[in-house]
Chains A and B, each alone.
Chain A
């Protein structure tokens, strides 16, 4: 009798294990399919950048040949790596890196300070300021772009690095992100430091900022992507290659009558590397920030 019961239980366990195994198989298959969908365009981009015939690239697009290169060449990369001349794509890449570093660097300082003051400062009308910040977030960038062009040109800022950095350093979204993060930290931290005689800036710099790595990582990545992908703004406010970013330079490959897919692909690969590196560097905190937000609601 007991053998029979044991055997039935074992069968049950086996069935459960088999069901779990099948479920995992389906899950793995689904994840693989999703991963393939995400990775395949990037792989295609990389493969195309190693082909030197722009018409062949276009012809290959609709077939599996898009994922294969028989005679790989780095000639496209050599062509887009110029640091001088009319088409100094290397120079444009450096410009983009400089703009990215400054925007993210200053952005972290300004937005985190604003978020901290809104969360813990003794400023009057904090609630009102916070609602204004949130309200500003819903205004699309495109709607204010032309007035902004007029403002920066009157200020004599056109064709500079500053014009591509200063307007985007402070952002309602990132101020709010920092505010939300700081507001969730225990009140006791602030009070204890205050009792020890620390100033608000000292509390921000020495206690709250070191604790906000996930928020800093999230803002760095989001702000970095935004700064890196700027296209219309630099076209409108820059005139020469002095401060122009790589996104604008890549547009030269898309001419009126012809598209230079080979070099466009190589330049796109080069353009992708820094932002990918930024993401990989901050990935751990970026993910934990999102998980944290989800858990804390």
Chain B
């Protein structure tokens, strides 16, 4: 009995020593989203960071993509913000304005900061103090994919670069011709299958409005009425409604792979850079990557993706910054991003990505970043802007009145801004 008691005491003491040792470690929490491949990659990066920094424990907090905002809200309300968090770039202004993020420049390695592309800097910068609040390895873009066989069959011109993009007339003319071509079920997939719960609609369709000569909101007065419901926007969305009515667009219920599914039922795809790898694997030499068409006076493409910020709640911002720098330089992390046809946000990553280099199959996408990319409105009201716009597009695609839907959305956005007293100091920018 006495022996057992002694053994128990020794075990408790040993456990105590181990626990004290564990407690002595600095713990940083990293909140992220992503599919199984990314979850595994982040886990591996964390292990390598811990091995290189034995006094640090990295606790990964996974939140599903569709419920990320809810998880973030819960973390804010329960005062459990992580040290490092992944965030969707257009939401940055809202998070900084709300005081959740801290400037990241002093915390990140200088070589990473110098390595960032202009677009990457833009997506992580808060427009009021012009400070950098987030950084990422990647950025994003949308291009017009085409099926070479179908394009040749209708005699379509293949643009050589961004300056050579199709005009609206050319684009709609090809849609009409493709709709009559045998083997083509739908002339274009605009990826309606992503639904209205993701950022897709604002991210991908917003540039069509900007190309047509309007915007989601006036970026000087920060008023939406008079801009989102202006004639160019009404015309642009009437044009898209016509595509849907004509049966030219893959319906929402048909998923997100009709461009490269068996039989290639869709001739064109208004798709993100991330579908390239899968589409090319299925279509081989038949895939053509083209710049987004000019729907008005200029060509416009989207940018911005999920990037990394350090929260104001972090008790160890220096270690959090060290982790972000470590991750962005990690070879296996970069290799996985490359496999996923990730769009470069760091110059060194671009140089190492033959897909996006000059002459590479996605070079046009990278060319768009410097010539036509426009970020989504960097304003704290962005969550309200995107939600209102997505609702309006959904209504329009379901045969709603274009002008009425856009006016209602614009009013909703302005109401949100008014309710927040103009989100000072954004109201002083006018």
Contact = CB atoms under 8 A, between A and B. Distances in A.
Interface of A: 55-56, 58-59, 61-62, 85-87, 146, 149-150, 152-154, 158, 231-232, 235-237, 239-241, 248, 251-260, 263
Contacts of B260: 55
Given A146-B73, A239-B59, A256-B198, A58 B66 contact: no
Contact of B60 (A61, A146, A240): A240
Interface of B: 29, 33-36, 38-40, 42-44, 59-67, 70-71, 73-74, 77-80, 198, 254-257, 260-262, 272, 274-275, 278, 282, 306
B40 A150 contact: no
A255 B70 contact: no
Contacts of A85: 40, 43
B64 A251 contact: yes
A96 B58 CA distance: 25
B70 A232 contact: yes
B306 A256 contact: yes
Contacts of A235: 63-64, 67, 70-71, 74
B124 to A, nearest CB: 18
A256 B33 contact: yes
Contacts, number: 100
Nearest to B88: A256
A55 B60 CA distance: 30
B29 A253 contact: no
A255 B38 contact: yes
B36 A263 contact: yes
Contact of B36 (A56, A239, A240, A253): A253
Contacts of A257: 35, 272, 274-275
Given A237-B74, A252-B36, A86 B43 contact: yes
A242 to B, nearest CB: 10
A238 to B, nearest CB: 9
A59 B60 CA distance: 35
B77 A260 contact: no
A184 to B, nearest CB: 42
A281 B127 CA distance: 61
22 contacts: A55-B260, A61-B255, A86-B40, A87-B36, A87-B39, A146-B74, A150-B78, A152-B78, A153-B78, A154-B78, A232-B67, A235-B71, A237-B74, A239-B29, A240-B59, A248-B64, A251-B65, A255-B35, A256-B34, A257-B274, A260-B35, A260-B36
Contacts of A149: 74, 77-78
Contact of B35 (A58, A158, A256): A256
B261 A158 contact: no
A263 B63 CA distance: 18
A150 B40 CA distance: 30
Contacts of B36: 87, 252-253, 255, 260, 263
Interface-centre pick from B35, B39, B79 (highest chain A CB count, 10 A): B35
Given A87-B36, A239-B29, A240-B60, 19 more contacts: A55-B282, A152-B78, A153-B78, A153-B79, A153-B80, A236-B70, A236-B71, A236-B74, A237-B74, A240-B61, A251-B65, A251-B66, A254-B65, A256-B33, A258-B274, A258-B278, A260-B35, A260-B36, A263-B36
Contacts of B38: 255
A214 B40 CA distance: 46
B71 A252 contact: no
A158 B80 CA distance: 10
Contact of B261 (A55, A239, A253): A55
A154 B77 CA distance: 11
The 4 closest A-B pairs by CB, nearest first: A255-B35, A153-B78, A251-B64, A86-B43
Contacts of B254: 62
A172 B358 CA distance: 66
A59 B64 contact: no
Contacts of A62: 254
A150 B44 CA distance: 32
A115 B38 CA distance: 48
